[in-house]
Structure 1
Amino acid sequence: MSAFMSVVARRTAAAALAAGALVGTFAASASADAAVHPGRDRVEISGAQYDSPGWDNGTNRSLNKEWVDVTNTSRHAVNLNGWTLSAEDGRTYTFHHYRLAARSTVRVHTGVGRDSGHDVYQDRRRYAWDNRSDTATLRDDRNRRVDTLSWGGYRGDRGHGHGGRR
């Protein structure tokens, strides 16, 4: 009888160990995935000045006072090469060779200027954003929509010069 009990005890112990190993494998896999992608890279449109202050006189100074902020809220830098920022009418700016540092913002100006770490320029000679209503759409290099920011009309404007999230 004791030999029978030791076989049962060994099989039960083996089953318990196997079950524990299986649970441990799933738990390790889930925690490893969370460590590799903690909330995924999060890039968003964090603000916009779509109505350049003062008269819209078309000068480069006025054009560059029209901008959209793109913010990386994650702990890792994100390569924005090939990402696009577009208006409803199809006007599109494409990021070229730009890496957005962790927890930082880049301001995308409409006019002509010299790109830097925190400012890039669309090099346009006309306004990119409609003052009354428009939607800025940020897409990644695979053309997947990452974020949108809308203002005016039915979209729930959050104040003059700054867009409201859709």
Structure 2
Amino acid sequence: MSRSVSRIAAALLASGAVVAMAFPASAGESVAQPHRSPVVLGDIQYNSPGPDTRSQRSLNGEWVTVTNNSRRPVNLRGWTLTNSHHQSYRFHSLRLGAHKSVKVHTGSGIDNRRHVHEGRRDHIWGNRHDTATLRDARGQRADTESWGGHHRR
């Protein structure tokens, strides 16, 4: 093979590699994508209004919103909501409708589709800093929100 033919072949191979890098992977190829849950944390009221007492009013003034951003309902049975001190709330059978939210209150009360209660006797969310982590029934992290000085995402 002549030198000029070798150079042309090398140039064609190199240009093919550049072209291949410019196109995304085809549907048949497996490209690892991070898991993004449609169920996420929304607003968090970590500092209950007024003084932090152990009254139900004060305890239930502390809450976390969990939102389903998908078009389909999601059963939250077995999902957990955990703070940075590993205090967890495990959801019982709760069907969260498409584009709906539920508030998870720290204290006690009557559960329904829009409000559930952990039944705790003390506040669990840190007023200065904390991290809320939502995990699905398989233990996969769905979402995390932090505030204050200690962030863990």
Calculate the TM-score normalised by the size of structure 1.
0.69
User: By how many angstroms is 1:147 displaced?
Assistant: 0.2
User: By how many angstroms is 1:40 displaced?
Assistant: 7.2
Q: Among all aligned residue pairs of Structure 1 and Structure 2, give the percentage whose two residues are the same amino acid.
A: 52
Task: Tell me the residue number matched to 1:45.
Answer: 41
Task: Tell me the residue number matched to 2:87.
Answer: 91
User: By how many angstroms is 1:154 displaced?
Assistant: 5.1
Higher helix share: 1
Contact persistence 1:111–1:125 (CA under 8 A): yes
Gapped regions of structure 2 (runs ≥ 5): 1-25, 29-34
Identify which of 109, 112, 116 aligns with 2:112. 116
CA RMSD in angstroms comes to: 2.1
The verdict on how the C-alpha distance between 1:48 and 1:118 changes in structure 2, with shifts beyond 3 A counting, is same
Task: Tell me the residue number matched to 1:75.
Answer: 71
Q: Which moved more, 1:135-144 or 1:145-154?
A: 145-154
Higher radius of gyration, 1 or 2 = 1
Tell me, in whole angstroms, the C-alpha distance in 1 between the residues paired with 2:37 and 2:150. 30
Contact persistence 2:36–2:142 (CA under 8 A): no
Q: Secondary structure at the match of 2:58?
A: helix
User: By how many angstroms is 1:128 displaced?
Assistant: 1.3
Calculate the TM-score normalised by the size of structure 2.
0.75
Tell me, in whole angstroms, the C-alpha distance in 2 between the residues paired with 1:88 and 1:70. 17
Aligned residues: 123
Q: Secondary structure at the match of 2:57?
A: helix
User: By how many angstroms is 1:47 displaced?
Assistant: 1.2
User: By how many angstroms is 1:69 displaced?
Assistant: 0.1
Tell me, in whole angstroms, the C-alpha distance in 2 between the residues paired with 1:41 and 1:144. 9
The verdict on how the C-alpha distance between 1:136 and 1:41 changes in structure 2, with shifts beyond 3 A counting, is closer
Task: Tell me the residue number matched to 1:149.
Answer: 145
Q: Secondary structure at the match of 1:153?
A: coil
Tell me, in whole angstroms, the C-alpha distance in 2 between the residues paired with 1:148 and 1:154. 13
Per-residue CA deviations over 1:103-141 (Å, capped at 9, x if unaligned) read 000000000001011000000000011111000000000
Task: Tell me the residue number matched to 1:104.
Answer: 100
The residue type equivalent to 1:64 in the other structure is N
After the TM superposition, list the runs of 4 or more consecutive aligned residues in structure 1 that deviate by more than 6 angstroms: none
Mapping of residues 132-147 of structure 1, within 5 Å: 132-147=128-143
